Structure 1
Amino acid sequence: MSIKSESYKDKKVISIGTVSEITGLSERQIRYYEERNLIFPYRTKKGTRKYSFSDVERLMEIAEMIEEGVQTFEIRKKILKKEKEAVREKMIRGQLNARFGVLRLP
């Protein structure tokens, strides 16, 4: 049995209509956030957008920030900062694991 490294949360399998229902955002809003480089759906060969559960979570965060009056360029900066911090944390965990053996941090 093979274990895939991709989490179920990151699999791009959800249609834009379903994402719209889950988030309460219109399809137009979702496409706008894609245009602003805040979300990156997978495109099938026919051009259909597919989203992951992680994308849905990000859209909910974006919607909350928009409601608070945060501009899309500021949101993009916050998202990039958060992603860089996640990569850094993963690298540190890898270094600790390599040095001290299997280490699981919360």
Structure 2
Amino acid sequence: MQDESYKTKKVISIGAVSEITGLSERQIRYYEERKLVFPERTKKGTRKYSFQDVERLMDIINQMEDGVQTFEIRQELLRKEKEKEMTDRSVRDQMIRGQLNAVFGIAKPRRYPR
């Protein structure tokens, strides 16, 4: 997972993000206000972004060029987060059932409605 750690580490200043993406600092702050990117703040209040944030901003730019509104982008982001949460929960539940079955031989597979 080392690949993920460098992508999610918040180390890039808003000025560098502006240079990389071609967006103005004001545009970047706007996307933060619209809850599309989530920079961390230093003790002095400086925004710090990750490579993942830069990728998301580039995706936002492409979607905006295709006529997608920020509200729609946010809804899609929430949908993807919910899907990931459900998948993570399902995997965790399967692992627990497997462990119970291995230790006690009692866990029966649950059937989930589709």
Q: Which runs of 5+ in 1 are unaligned?
A: 102-106
**1:37-76 equivalent positions in 2, closer than 5 A:** 37-76=35-74
- Structure with greater Cα Rg: 2
1:96 offset after TM fit, Å? 2.4
What is the one-letter code of the residue matched to 2:6? Y
SS of equivalent to 2:45: coil
Distance change >3 Å, CA 22–CA 97, structure 1 → 2: farther
Partner in structure 1 of residue 16 of structure 2? 18
Q: Which runs of 5+ in 2 are unaligned?
A: 100-114
Distance 2:55 2:30 in 1: 16
| Matched pairs, number | 98
Task: List per-residue Cα deviations over 1:45-101 (Å, max 9, x = no partner).
Answer: 111000111111111111111111111111111111111111111122222233336
Return the TM-score normalized by structure 2. 0.75
SS of equivalent to 1:50: strand
Return the TM-score normalized by structure 1. 0.80
SS of equivalent to 1:7: helix
Distance 1:60 1:100 in 2: 41
Identical pairs, percent = 67
